[in-house]
Amino acid sequence: MNNSILIIGGTGEMGQWFAKFFKREGFEVTLWGSSQRVDIADKLGVNFASDLDNAIEKSDIVIVSVPIDITEKVISETAPKMKPGSLLMDFTSIKTKPVEAMEKYAPENVEILGTHPMFGPSIPSLYGQIVIMTPISGRCDNWFPVVKSVFENNGAHIEVIDPKEHDKFVSVVQGLTHFAYITIGSTFKRLDFDVSESRKFMSPVYDIMIDFVGRIIGQNPYLYALIQMENPEVLKVHDAFKKECNNISEIVRQQDVESFVENMKSAASHFGDTTSALHRSDKLINSKLQEFDQIAKLVGKECGLVHRYSGATHVGYVEKVKPRHVVLSKPYQKNKSISLKIENVRLLSENELRQWKINNLKHITRDISVFIPTNAVPETIRDVISNNANVVDTEIIDIYSGFENIENLSATYRITVLEDSNPNLIQDEVKKLLEGLGCYPRS
Amino acid sequence: MNNSILIIGGTGEMGQWFAKFFKREGFEVTLWGSSQRVDIADKLGVNFASDLDNAIEKSDIVIVSVPIDITEKVISETAPKMKPGSLLMDFTSIKTKPVEAMEKYAPENVEILGTHPMFGPSIPSLYGQIVIMTPISGRCDNWFPVVKSVFENNGAHIEVIDPKEHDKFVSVVQGLTHFAYITIGSTFKRLDFDVSESRKFMSPVYDIMIDFVGRIIGQNPYLYALIQMENPEVLKVHDAFKKECNNISEIVRQQDVESFVENMKSAASHFGDTTSALHRSDKLINSKLQEFDQIAKLVGKECGLVHRYSGATHVGYVEKVKPRHVVLSKPYQKNKSISLKIENVRLLSENELRQWKINNLKHITRDISVFIPTNAVPETIRDVISNNANVVDTEIIDIYSGFENIENLSATYRITVLEDSNPNLIQDEVKKLLEGLGCYPRS
């Protein structure tokens, strides 16, 4: 029989992601969520635990996937009810407190495994993703290898670390990153600084930084409050950061160039490989600039731009390219001109543009009738016609062999071309090709 | 006669960039640099001012392009020597002090124009770049339109702003950006935080942030010291930033969720369009992930990777993709296997890969002799053969019409294929095509 898995908090986005994942992996999946959204379980084709305690008692694995601030409470209520030989996991982004709670509340014959998936619910698969696990020797000897291999077989990388070490890293990785960006955002407000005006000073490093400031401060503030407040290591990081702020600012105030240089150099030497960091950030900056350059080169030329958020495709000639906008005249859409934010569009590849035209432009057909050479195969000639890039489609609409005194087959080819090309010109090209192959015109 | 331009500090990188630019624009360009690098002027095909004072007196435009901390001094020594009707410009990244110095030291009949090009010397052209100018009414009425149009005709965007306003913006755009990243780098050192270990916790937001930290702290610290110290507005920004650090950290210490939320919300509302910031940063993050996904999809398939720094091209089959590395087995390079950092490589397009193979793989030829249909043109048939994607080249090596009892032309086609394809298979495909066209084999 398959292993059964219960996900508490399974109606949340991460819970749903793992419900689908474990179902695909052959587990018998049951969800529970305080919102009682049975419809979510139905949609995913898994069970909903109408009787939570009963589901806990029966499950081989119980996963706690709830907000950080209630994780310990949920663990304390769940762990004592689990059956011998089963496994309790949590998916919280801190590990010391949840693992301590699991150690405290889980019976000795129930295994425990702290887990921190380093991704959000938008990823398509585990391939290349990182999952942090904090196994404790003697507390998950049977289940750890099983869970590890389920993840690894799907391409994930498992990193094993001590819970306290984990929280120290996370206090910087999430704690300091968010703190710095939120503080910068608050500084803008304190200075009454006009952010959108400041974008005129388009330095790519600044530009990218304020996009991340906007990204962070625009998200759910309660989630960010919890990340700052639930991990006690974060305050130590704040303290270190504040000391450095005061120290460096004082150095600047004293115009003490040598101390500034000394400080920056030793930070660089502690950091380690700054060259790779430079290369990676260069690559990122270039990916922004490259797209701009690509579009800038298209002035006067035809291109297709798909809007990343509305999904609309705009095809036309590039009239003008400004630092943040591209102006397109749209010959297929009533000759209107449209100005698009470059950050919101993606350039269609040549193939995509061709496909768009095939789907959206008028199709025009032309028929060409010829006698084909002795022993030639009409379908081979049809395929050769199709190699013309302007021919969308080639069809044989007639084959006839009954002409008096003529032993050759007659074939009529119908070519389809698009309204933006010149049908007569293309028809002439195809006729010339056919003559070159030894076909001769009928009529 | 052409306008003459003197660039003081013209042997520096920015100076050289503008020397080339103004030369292309038809100016008579002269450089001067304290390093006396006449060779740089020679290489650029412009003059070097052996007598600086004389060059200042003769020039229509003098540009001061020297480090911030000596800009005022250079202005004070240069401005009084300039001829009536000429223009003095500076290219420093702060504007209040240099413009005040130009006002003070330039005679009234010499025009002045503070300028801040918002780009580094690595850009290929001005297209889409921003140049900030701080014209003062009555002090550059003749020259401002001239200089503006030289830049605009090359695709630059000119932003006009008051020098003080400029420095306020720059104190944040450069001052705060650098200060925040340098402080984060110093915090890593203070915490003895293992940056390279922390990359295991690959959250893209963190990953990108530390790359920018490494980027900034790895650069010339003297330059960054000057940017912090020369603009008096920067200290005001430090003070605001330190207050916000203390305030938010205290809120976290007090576990005051509501104040945290309130603060973050009001920062977001001051910031303005956080949605666009989210979209732009998403796009940036995706450009990192997309490349990974693209490479991950190639496991088991052939691909070409060019190393961004060594320039070497590696072609082979993708064996494995790890979060930061791709392992390639290299069948054309003695079957060795190589592990490459994904951040250091660029994936070749299909066309580039094909071109690489054409240049690097052995070429194999096969000859096919046929009688072609009556009136068929040998060259047309050659072109049709070339449509086969595996055929690199098709040549007619013989045409003969003298066969007894046969009126048709005989043609011998030599096809070239690459060693990684099956020449016999391709030869058979081409023969089949030719038969379908009504050709029949000779011999």
Q: Nearest-CA residue of chain A relative to B291? A: A287
Whether residue A287 is contained in a domain is answered as: no
Which of A157, A234, A261 has its CB closest to that of B221? A261
Question: What's the half-sphere exposure (Cβ side, CA atoms, 13 Å) at B196?
Answer: 11
Long-range contacts of B225-229 (CB under 8 A, 24+ apart): B225/A252, B225/A257, B225/A260, B225/A261, B225/A264, B226/A257, B226/B67, B226/B68, B226/B69, B227/B68, B227/B93, B227/B174, B227/B175, B227/B178, B228/A252, B228/A260, B228/B175, B228/B178, B228/B179, B229/A252, B229/A255, B229/A257, B229/A260
Whether residue B285 is contained in a domain is answered as: no
Q: Which of B131, B134, B203 to mutate to test the interface with A (most CBs of A within 10 A)?
A: B203
Q: Structure tokens of B256?
A: 């005051």
Pairwise CB contact (< 8 Å): B225 & A201: no
Q: What pLDDT, on a 0 to 100 scale, did the predictor assign at position B386? A: 93
Pairwise CB contact (< 8 Å): A380 & B436: yes
Q: Are A348 and A365 part of one and the same domain?
A: no
For residue B439, the one-letter residue type is C
Q: First vs last Cα of chain B: how many Å apart? A: 76
Q: A374: which chain B residues are within 8 Å (Cβ-Cβ)?
A: 373, 438
Q: Nearest-CA residue of chain A relative to B129? A: A323
C-alpha dihedral (B117, B121, B124, B130), degrees to nearest 10: -10
Q: Are B17 and B157 part of one and the same domain?
A: yes
Contact A61, A29 (CB under 8 A): no
3-state secondary structure of B64: strand
Q: What pLDDT, on a 0 to 100 scale, did the predictor assign at position B262? A: 97
Whether residue A216 is contained in a domain is answered as: yes
CA distance A346 to chain B (A): 10
Last residue of a domain, one of A309, A336, A357: A357
Q: Are A92 and A193 part of one and the same domain?
A: no
Q: B266: which chain A residues are within 8 Å (Cβ-Cβ)?
A: 189
Q: What pLDDT, on a 0 to 100 scale, did the predictor assign at position A1? A: 60
Q: What value does the mean pLDDT take over residues B135-154?
A: 94
Residue B333 pLDDT greater than 80, yes or no:
no
Q: What pLDDT, on a 0 to 100 scale, did the predictor assign at position B287? A: 78
Q: First vs last Cα of chain A: how many Å apart? A: 76
Q: What pLDDT, on a 0 to 100 scale, did the predictor assign at position A296? A: 83
Q: What is the pLDDT of residues B62-116, one digit of tens each?
A: 999 999 889 999 999 999 999 999 999 999 989 999 999 999 999 999 999 999 9
Q: What pLDDT, on a 0 to 100 scale, did the predictor assign at position A266? A: 96
Which of A200, A248, A266 has its CB closest to that of B159? A200
CA distance B178 to chain A (A): 9
CA distance B223 to chain A (A): 9
Whether residue B280 is contained in a domain is answered as: no
> What CATH number does residue A315 fall under?
2.30.30.520
Which of B211, B252, B373 has its CB closest to that of A437? B373
Residue B330, classified by CB atoms within 10 Å of its CB into exposed (0-12), middle (13-18) or buried (19+), is: middle
Contact A315, A332 (CB under 8 A): yes
Q: What pLDDT, on a 0 to 100 scale, did the predictor assign at position A422? A: 92
**Residue A234 CA: distances (Å) to CA of A21, A177, A179, A237, B178:** 32, 11, 9, 5, 23
Pairwise CB contact (< 8 Å): B216 & A203: no
Partnered with residue A329 across adjacent β-strands are: A317, A337
Q: Which of B93, B126, B219, B274 to mutate to test the interface with A (most CBs of A within 10 A)?
A: B274
User: ipTM value of the model?
Assistant: 0.79
Q: A244: which chain B residues are within 8 Å (Cβ-Cβ)?
A: 183, 186-187, 190
CA distance A364 to chain B (A): 25
Q: What pLDDT, on a 0 to 100 scale, did the predictor assign at position A416? A: 95
Whether residue B375 is contained in a domain is answered as: yes
CA distance B29 to chain A (A): 28
In chain A, what's the furthest Cα-to-Cα distance? Answer: 105
Q: Are B388 and B247 part of one and the same domain?
A: no
Could you report the average pLDDT of every consecutive run of 10 residues in chain A (443 residues)? 90 94 96 94 96 97 94 97 97 94 97 92 81 95 96 90 94 95 96 90 85 93 92 96 97 97 96 89 80 84 89 91 86 81 86 91 94 94 93 94 84 94 94 95 79
Q: Structure tokens of A424?
A: 């007569």
Q: Are A264 and A350 part of one and the same domain?
A: no
CA distance A195 to chain B (A): 6
Q: A189: which chain B residues are within 8 Å (Cβ-Cβ)?
A: 266-267, 270-271
Residue B335 pLDDT greater than 70, yes or no:
no
Q: B228: which chain A residues are within 8 Å (Cβ-Cβ)?
A: 252, 260
Q: Are B154 and B303 part of one and the same domain?
A: no
Last residue of a domain, one of B305, B331, B358: B358
Q: Which domain holds residue A182?
A: 166-271
Q: What value does the mean pLDDT take over residues B27-33?
A: 96
Pairwise CB contact (< 8 Å): A235 & B252: yes
Q: Are A346 and A379 part of one and the same domain?
A: no
Name the more confident of B407 and B354: B354
Whether residue A420 is contained in a domain is answered as: yes
Q: What pLDDT, on a 0 to 100 scale, did the predictor assign at position B443? A: 66
Which of A257, A275, A384 has its CB closest to that of B384? A384
Q: Are A171 and A137 part of one and the same domain?
A: no
Q: In this predicted structure, which of A281-285, B273-277, B368-372 has the lowest mean pLDDT?
A: A281-285
Q: What is the pLDDT of residues A320-337, one digit of tens each?
A: 888 778 999 987 777 688
Residue A402, classified by CB atoms within 10 Å of its CB into exposed (0-12), middle (13-18) or buried (19+), is: exposed
> What CATH number does residue B130 fall under?
3.40.50.720
> What CATH number does residue A259 fall under?
1.10.3660.10
Q: Are A393 and A406 part of one and the same domain?
A: yes
Q: What pLDDT, on a 0 to 100 scale, did the predictor assign at position A439? A: 95
Q: B323: which chain A residues are within 8 Å (Cβ-Cβ)?
A: 128, 130, 157
Last residue of a domain, one of B109, B139, B161: B161
Contact A77, A87 (CB under 8 A): no
Q: B213: which chain A residues are within 8 Å (Cβ-Cβ)?
A: 271, 277
CA distance B86 to chain A (A): 28
Q: Are B324 and B379 part of one and the same domain?
A: no
Pairwise CB contact (< 8 Å): A280 & B343: yes
Q: What pLDDT, on a 0 to 100 scale, did the predictor assign at position A411? A: 95
* B50 — pLDDT class (breaks 50, 70, 90): very high
Residue B1 pLDDT greater than 80, yes or no:
no
Q: Nearest-CA residue of chain B relative to A274? A: B214
Contact B43, B55 (CB under 8 A): no
Q: Which of B165, B226, B276, B340 to mutate to test the interface with A (most CBs of A within 10 A)?
A: B276
Pairwise CB contact (< 8 Å): A277 & B211: yes
Q: Which of B211, B233, B319, B350 to mutate to test the interface with A (most CBs of A within 10 A)?
A: B211
Q: A184: which chain B residues are within 8 Å (Cβ-Cβ)?
A: 176, 180, 241
Backbone φ and ψ of B277, nearest 5° = -65, -40
Q: Nearest-CA residue of chain A relative to B269? A: A218
Q: B225: which chain A residues are within 8 Å (Cβ-Cβ)?
A: 252, 257, 260-261, 264
CA distance B330 to chain A (A): 22
Q: What pLDDT, on a 0 to 100 scale, did the predictor assign at position B404? A: 78
Backbone φ and ψ of B413, nearest 5° = -100, 130
Whether residue B307 is contained in a domain is answered as: yes
CA distance B51 to chain A (A): 33
Which of B273, B292, B381 has its CB closest to that of A196? B273
Q: What pLDDT, on a 0 to 100 scale, did the predictor assign at position A274? A: 92
Per the structure, the count of domains in chain B is 4
Q: Are B172 and B88 part of one and the same domain?
A: no
Whether residue A286 is contained in a domain is answered as: no
Q: Are B44 and B187 part of one and the same domain?
A: no
Q: What pLDDT, on a 0 to 100 scale, did the predictor assign at position A318? A: 93
Residue B301, classified by CB atoms within 10 Å of its CB into exposed (0-12), middle (13-18) or buried (19+), is: exposed
Q: B169: which chain A residues are within 8 Å (Cβ-Cβ)?
A: 197-198, 200-201
